[in-house]
Amino acid sequence: MAIKLGGEFEVKRTPEEVYDFLTDPSKFAPLLPEFQSMSVQDATHFTVKVNVGISYIKGAADVKLELKQADRPRRAQYKGQGSVAGGNVSFIAGFDLSGAADGTKVVWQGEAQIFGGLASVAGGLLEPLGKKNVQKLIDGLQAALS
């Protein structure tokens, strides 16, 4: 099962400031919905623990993230994968930054692939839940960068 999302927003910060925020896991990761903790392996690899749950499938997931593209101050892209009881998820999330009249325009896009029993059991619930959680993240990013 694939879920694709995207959008854009503007903030009153420079592209360099936005890029630095998006590529600093200690600033970015705590904004993830249901964030619990994080461990950093090196400059481009870190693992976050998040609570996940749909219906009766609940638990914590360790999500391994890699900063796959780092083109300061224009683009940051993460690739990640994790597992939870009943399934696995892999995803890509990218942020393209450009100067705007009052700061920076952020164009974001993401795609998640969900595999295993989780996709078949919770199928129809996953996309709305994914959209809701991504919107929480984007709202958190906008607030943190304002």
pLDDT average per 10 residues of sequence, the chain (146 residues)? 90 97 95 93 94 70 94 97 80 95 95 74 67 88 93
Indicate the pairing of strand 45-54 with strand 87-100: unpaired
- Specify the pLDDT at position 52: 77
Rg from Cα positions in the chain: 15
2-145: CATH class? alpha beta
Enumerate the β-bridge partners of residue 53.
Answer: 58
pTM: 0.88
Domain ranges of the chain: 2-145
Q: Specify burial of residue 60 (Cβ count, 10 A radius: 0-12, 13-18, 19+).
A: middle
